Structure 1
Amino acid sequence: MKLRPESLLFAGYCALLVWAPLPFASYRPWAAALLTLLAGLLFAGWLLLYCAGGARVNPGVWRYARLPLALLLLVQAWVLLQTVPLPRALVQWLSPQAYAWHIREGWLTLSLDPSATRAYLLRGLTFTVCFFLTLALVNSRERLKLLLQVLVFSGTFQAAYGTLMVLSGLELGFFVEKYTGKGVATGTFVNRNHLAGYLVMCLAAGIGLLLSQLATTAAQGWRERLQRWLALLLSAKIRLRIYLAVMVIGLVLTRARMGNVAFFTALGVAGAVALYAGGRFSWRVVAFLGSLLLVDLLILGQWFGLDRLVERLEQTSPDSEARVFSSAYTFDYIQAFPLTGSGGGSFYGIFPNFQHPSLEGFYVHAHNDYLEFAAELGVPATLVLALVVLLALHSAWRVQCRSGAPLERGAAFAVTMTVCWAALHSLSDFNLQIPANALTFVSILATAFACRALPGRDCAPGR
């Protein structure tokens, strides 16, 4: 069977999602540049195919996704403006602190580190392009299902690899010996917290996929119930359930406190939203989500070190956490650049000016995504990014109200759970500054709009 060129592009995009976490989560400069190049080639291929009449965008997608896509492009335009030399008087009016700290003559930039901001712009364009590619290429239920399966595959590999490294003592990252995070699962990531964040997003995709496959009618008698159990043991559902268990093991072995807390909290919130959106109480959904908590947390967790994770949580004290103090000083940073920010990617060079002598260490990122976006981009641009996430959450809600669309509802569950995780985990870490995690995050957000454009009936406006 001959594949259409658009199908090859979709396959390439799925391969990009699997590749992104492999080379240190694409955080190294060479890996980030390669990720940008690959995404750009895919986008250029889609444009050529579109001009030749071989590709199109579902008209329904534009109805729901044109605003969030325009907002993302607006943020990239703002980052570009941060690198453009402007008259000194204009910079003084927009950002008095940036004007005061500039040492060059002539026109000035709003960014205090233009080279870092240009690299930041390339990453932002990469994520925006991938957001668009998800909208353009995920135009059928088959592709939606395949996209979720790809995320499950990638997450299972990362979890299995990280678990193997911990249990075997080899402690390898991406073809090199780990220099940090020994004794805990990091997969091919550098930081265990970022692997935990990636696994939660992949778990959300897998849970949504499995929810879409739950039986919708009750079994009539013990014979039909037995037939269903036997069919389950021989079906792909049991394999998917095993993949979820492997990812939970990897998540526990990261010993990431906020990552694990955010996972179970997001699972509970997304489950409650799914039950309410469905319009009726479903014991099957409750039993399934309960099994995740019972089997994975109590049984698998006990085998693979849940007690050590609980011990870390018990020993956590806000008074002794350096990330709490760094966040406090980041507020002073934001107050100095409230409107324009100091420039995308400039945190590492600007924060030492606000860092108290008692706060030891060098901080490349704030341990809070909200604060870092606000410090580098300014408060208005941060609110625009938050609006994109809220629009995706709204679309996911509308999709979950549908009847007769289990796969789309499962994908919408994944979006809801991913947003809940990000809202919590971003309070104490910088997952969205890691290219692999940011790419996966925007791809999952885009599925909310892609699902809504698929044939189906939205919930009534009164819901």
Structure 2
Amino acid sequence: MDGRSWRHPPPVPPTHARPGHRQLHHRTRGARAPVNAAFLTLMAASLVSARWDGSHRWVAAAAALLAAVHVVRWMRGAALRWSWWIAAPALWPCWAAAQIAFGVTLDPAATRAAAVDWAGAAIVFLLALQLRRDPGPWIAALAVVFAAASITVYRLSHGPDPPFGPFWNRNHYAAWVELVLPVVLSRLVTTGRSAYGVASLGLVVSVLLTRSRLGTALVAAEIAVVLSLSLRRRALALGAAAVIAAVGLAVGWSRFAQLGSYQAYEARLEAWRASAGMIAARPLSGWGLGAWQDAYPRFAPDDIGFTVLHADNDWLEWAAETGLPLPLLTLLPLLLAGLRGLPSRPALIGLAAVAIHALGEFPLHKPALLDWWMALLAMATGSPFETDAGAPAPPRRD
């Protein structure tokens, strides 16, 4: 030994590294395909876990085990990628622990449960940074499987509001499609392979069947943006988005017709007013991560006759639970990445769409969707994927 720790040899600066990103140790061992396969299997399991309450804890445990494997490999000489932006999800469980320790939270049990979900999301972020090959083909394959399964579940279900795939809430399924569709669609544009066309079509059709108003509108907007960035004829992109929007209106007209009714917004508006009151009362400390429903009765205008679980606005709910800093910190990597124009555009489009969707729903309060959002955030802000030759590719501009 020459005085340096065998665990920390001199790092070699990676080519085309992005700001805030580091690569620990220059040696890489093992095949890259199993890394992608293990991670995408974990993400598929996360989606399936959305069907059963409490089952996501097993997914979080599996993610922690996979992260431990990466750490052990790093200690034995493999490379470990990391980014300062991991602070965005990692600070949430730390803040929750402080809320419990100082008696801030109204519901310590709910805060502990939410902290576990955020710890799992932070681990998923770290795991996504380790992907060295573009996971686009894997995501497209998952998209085909889950879109087909979701349509099948929908067709076999009965009742006025049937479940859609792994999600009981159709808006949550639409939010997942919003995340992955730009990635799959951009692969179709850049490669021209019919497999990506089938995957894109399946995702779009499945969202139309959900009759999710916000989901349909955001998917149409995503198609317009992705195609306009990738195609020379932007009129064709806008035409395709217009067709999707028209079909969505035709399929779910009864849902869109309710937009003119005050009853469609009444419960949401009351929840938003109550959330604003919570934030005004505790703008920095919050009322406890996961404890929004416990604080709501204190700020509700009157008894509405049923229990309100969420604010139908993830950002307002989180600001009420934790204070304003953490939600702003979570959005900061996305905002800076968009301003710098460094990361993959398709991933950014999906992240932005779900961030907008979260203004009128609570998709990111579902652990599976939070995991996927953090995974794409890591892919968008991490280092470029390697080419077939094994060298880092130039910054992705697709």
Normalising to structure 1: TM-score of the pair?
0.71
Q: Within 5 Å, give how 1:332-347 maps onto structure 2.
A: 332-347=277-292
Whole-angstrom distance in 2 between the partners of 1:381 and 1:339: 9
Determine the C-alpha separation between the residues in 2 that align with 1:202 and 1:424. Answer: 15
Match of 1:293 in 2: 241
Pick from 379, 395, 399 the counterpart of residue 324 of structure 2.
379
Distance 1:45 1:179 in 2: 45
Whether 1:56 and 2:56 are equivalent positions in the alignment is no
| Cα distance, 1:158–1:52 mapped onto 2, change above 3 Å | same
Paired residue for 2:112, among 118, 136, 161? 118
Aligned to 1:181: 161
Q: Per-residue displacement from partner, 1:127-152 (whole Å, max 9, x unpaired)?
A: 1111111112x12xxx21xx222222
Q: Distance in 1 between matches of 2:87 and 2:352?
A: 23
Identical-residue share of aligned pairs (%): 24
User: Highest Rg: 1 or 2?
Assistant: 1
Contact 2:67 2:123 survives alignment (8 Å): yes
Match in the other structure for 1:415: 347
C-alpha separation in 2, matches of 1:383 and 1:199: 24
Q: Distance in 2 between matches of 1:48 and 1:266?
A: 40
Q: Which runs of 5+ in 1 are unaligned?
A: 87-108, 172-177, 215-236, 276-281, 400-411
- Higher helix share goes to which structure? 1
Query: How far off its partner does 1:319 sit?
Result: 2.1
Q: C-alpha separation between the residues in 2 aligned to 1:456 and 1:361?
A: 54
1:199-241 residue CA offsets vs partner (Å, 9 max, x unmatched): 1212122112223225xxxxxxxxxxxxxxxxxxxxxx11221
CA–CA separation in structure 1 for the residues paired with 2:160 and 2:282: 33
Q: How does 1:84-95 map to 2 (within 5 A)?
A: 84=101, 86=102
Distance 1:71 1:127 in 2: 10
- Report the equivalent of 1:448: 380
**CA distance in 1 between partners of 2:305 and 2:224 (Å):** 37
Provide structure 2 residue ranges, at least 5 long, that are not aligned to the other structure. 1-28, 387-391
Hey, what does 2:152 align to over in structure 1?
Answer: 164
The aligned residue for residue 22 of structure 1 is 48
| Structure 2 residue 215 is matched with structure 1 residue 283 | no
Change (3 A) 1:413 1:271: farther
Aligned residue number for residue 205 of structure 1: 183
User: SS where residue 359 of structure 1 aligns?
Assistant: coil
Matched residue type, 1:317: G
By how many angstroms is 1:286 displaced?
A: 5.7
Q: Offset of 1:358 from its aligned partner?
A: 5.5
Partner residue, 1:238: 194
Question: TM-score, normalised on structure 2?
Answer: 0.82
Q: What root-mean-square deviation, in Å, do the aligned CA atoms of Structure 1 and Structure 2 show?
A: 2.7
Contact 1:252/1:260 (<8 A) preserved: yes
Task: State how many pairs are aligned.
Answer: 361
Check if 1:196 corresponds to 2:188.
Answer: no
Q: Aligned partners of 2:59, 2:214: CA distance in 1, in Å?
A: 28
Of 72, 81, 86, which aligns to 2:98? 81
Q: Secondary structure at the match of 2:288?
A: coil
Q: What SS does the aligned partner of 1:446 have?
A: helix
1:306 is displaced (CA, Å) by: 4.8
Contact kept in structure 2, 1:6 and 1:46, CA below 8 Å: no
Q: Give the conservation status (yes or no) of the 8 Å contact 2:170–2:212.
A: yes
Deviation at 1:50, TM superposition (A): 1.2
